[in-house]
Structure 1
Amino acid sequence: MLVAAALCPCPPLLVPEVAAGAAGELDPLRAACREAVDALAAARPDRLVVVGPTDGAGAGPYPQGATGSFRGFGVDQEVGLGTAPHPPGPPLPPSLSVGAWLLAHATPVDAPVTGLGVDGALAPEDCLEAGRELAASAPRVALLVMGDGSACRTVKAPGYHDERAADYDAALARALATADTDTLAALTPALATTLQSTGRAPWQLLTGAARASTPLRGTLRYDEAPYGVGYFVASWG
């Protein structure tokens, strides 16, 4: 059963060494993420899963101890899921690496930590089913759900400006603030792809897990669009 979730964005710029001279600009976002991730430890889960978007090649489960790095972003820094020895296998995709970094800088969670890369093209019904399966995997499951809103809020955004982006992100903020699974379940892959929103599939997986569990309450901790990208931090519990 899902007992808690932290929802955080996954730009590598969350790692100060990657952001370099711009690191201070995202300090409020890092602080909000820290608060949300700290709350997971307070929920006393039996299992913690970091869920993040990836392409098809990086989709699938990652065991405790799996490592990733930020070398692709010019920083020779490694991170791992939990403290277990590194098992053989592929490296963590960027979204899970950012999640692992957040966990390493928050209150330790006394539970096994694994990862799950979710294909950004995964159909909504498959996301919901994957969430139901995760919720049933342990008596007390917590999720750290990584994903961004639209990347089209301004002309300088990665996806340039799209007039639909502000309304899309506003609806997301309301849904995350109230644990509104109906709104999240209704997100369409086509619009999410057009607006370059990476959170659609992970949020729908969370929706499946939440619907299979006791209803949770939501708290929105951060809702801003630095660099023209919608970043949200929320807690469900």
Structure 2
Amino acid sequence: MASVSVPSPLFACSSDTRASFVRPTPAGRALRRGGARCTSRSRSVTTGPSLAIQTGKRTYGNRSPGSRRQRTLRGDEPPRPRGPVATLGAVISAVAVLPQPPLLVPELAGAAAAETADVRDAVRDAAAGLAARASRWIAVGADAGGRRTVAPGAVGTFVGFGVDVRVALDTSARVEATADRDLPLPLLVAGWAAASTGTAVAIRGELVAPDLPTADCLALGRALAAEPAAADDAVGLLVVGDGAATHTEKAPGHLDPRAAPFDATVAAALATADTDALAALDPGLADQLWVAGRAPWQVLAGAAAGGRWDAELLCSAAPFGVAYHVAFWTRR
């Protein structure tokens, strides 16, 4: 496989509470919101003898989500295939990678809404792209409760973060139902992102421990990809997690100079669908940098390895010293 050459910097931080970031825009224009400057970048990256990935242009298509709904799952029960059998890995039509700050939710952002506007817009764009290709999503995130599956019937609330904003993993469900106050943050963000699309989406949550070893993350990703599925199904993979929380002195983990190169590596990997680079992330370093997304990204590496993907990095930012990456991949 040919080497990947990605222009730098994709990610740069200062010692202030905000860090500069790059967000590609279709018209190649510079954007400024909340004190952060976003500059357009468009490039073609060759990752193999026959794979050219174009970034910097969003094309979500105009196909509406499938009309068939996935039945509610029980516990770890895999989906029952309908019609000709394929594998889940073969029917994953797109991947969205999102961060998980509660400040994505406008009701929680308050005065910080302007600071997170670009990240929020990119998250909504990625979710809309995923919903345009699949009405059934699998959301992967990390939680201290460890490995478990959460069925689409779950309803949660952001009340633990200050406001009782309710979300459902099935957007057709009534959010007035009793909400789980302990639904993990990655799934709360997944439900909020799905609701922002205004379409029917059912999400199955797959949670892992934050310190899950790389080999186990990759194995889980491969196991998910090997699940049986209907050949005419369409599934979206949603991967949720933050980058390093050590980009500035006022960041949750304070300033660590290793954070910038770590997140530059992550941003480049997400921009080029480089699953090998994601698989090579160091769990020990990630833990020291307070990275919440390392394990989910490595589950993605296992699930997407060997596929041919068009990839785009929609946003890479650290407005409060925490790295937030948003990316969107589509199968070629």
Q: Same fold (TM over 0.5)?
A: yes
Structure 1: any 5+ residue segments left out of the alignment? Answer: none
The AA in structure 2 aligned to 1:61 is: T
The AA in structure 1 aligned to 2:256 is: D
The AA in structure 2 aligned to 1:158 is: P
CA distance in structure 1 between the aligned counterparts of 2:147 and 2:241, rounded to whole angstroms: 14
Q: Does 1:164 align with 2:258?
A: yes
Match of 1:102 in 2: 193
Q: Does the CA-based 8 Å contact 2:266-2:278 persist in structure 1?
A: yes
- For the structure 1 residues 108 and 58, does the alpha-carbon distance in structure 2 shift closer, same or farther, using more than 3 Å as the test? farther
Per mean C-alpha deviation after superposition, the further-off stretch among 61-70 and 79-88 is 79-88
The alignment-based identity, stated in percent, is 47
- For the structure 1 residues 143 and 87, does the alpha-carbon distance in structure 2 shift closer, same or farther, using more than 3 Å as the test? farther
Q: Does 1:228 align with 2:321?
A: yes
Count of residues in Structure 1 that have an aligned counterpart in Structure 2: 233
The structure carrying a bigger helix percent of its residues is 1
Structure 1 stretches (4+) deviating beyond 6 angstroms? 85-90
Alignment of 1:188-227 (within 5 A): 188-211=282-305, 214-227=307-320
Q: Does 1:130 align with 2:236?
A: no
CA distance in structure 2 between the aligned counterparts of 1:151 and 1:211, rounded to whole angstroms: 27
CA distance in structure 1 between the aligned counterparts of 2:116 and 2:98, rounded to whole angstroms: 13
The AA in structure 2 aligned to 1:5 is: V
Alignment of 1:12-51 (within 5 A): 12-44=102-134, 47-51=136-140
Q: Does the CA-based 8 Å contact 1:5-1:236 persist in structure 2?
A: yes
Q: Does the CA-based 8 Å contact 2:270-2:312 persist in structure 1?
A: yes
CA distance in structure 2 between the aligned counterparts of 1:221 and 1:44, rounded to whole angstroms: 19
CA shift at 1:123, angstroms?
Answer: 0.9
The AA in structure 1 aligned to 2:95 is: A
Match of 1:81 in 2: 169
The AA in structure 2 aligned to 1:126 is: D
CA distance in structure 2 between the aligned counterparts of 1:88 and 1:15, rounded to whole angstroms: 17
Per mean C-alpha deviation after superposition, the further-off stretch among 29-38 and 90-99 is 90-99
The AA in structure 1 aligned to 2:197 is: A
CA distance in structure 1 between the aligned counterparts of 2:146 and 2:276, rounded to whole angstroms: 28
Which SS does the other structure have where 2:328 is aligned?
Answer: strand
CA distance in structure 2 between the aligned counterparts of 1:20 and 1:89, rounded to whole angstroms: 24
Q: Does the CA-based 8 Å contact 1:52-1:145 persist in structure 2?
A: yes
CA shift at 1:141, angstroms?
Answer: 2.8
Return the index of the structure with the highest Cα Rg.
2
The AA in structure 1 aligned to 2:151 is: P
CA shift at 1:101, angstroms?
Answer: 0.5
CA shift at 1:107, angstroms?
Answer: 4.6
Q: Does the CA-based 8 Å contact 2:166-2:179 persist in structure 1?
A: no
Give me the TM-score of the superposition, normalised by structure 2.
0.66
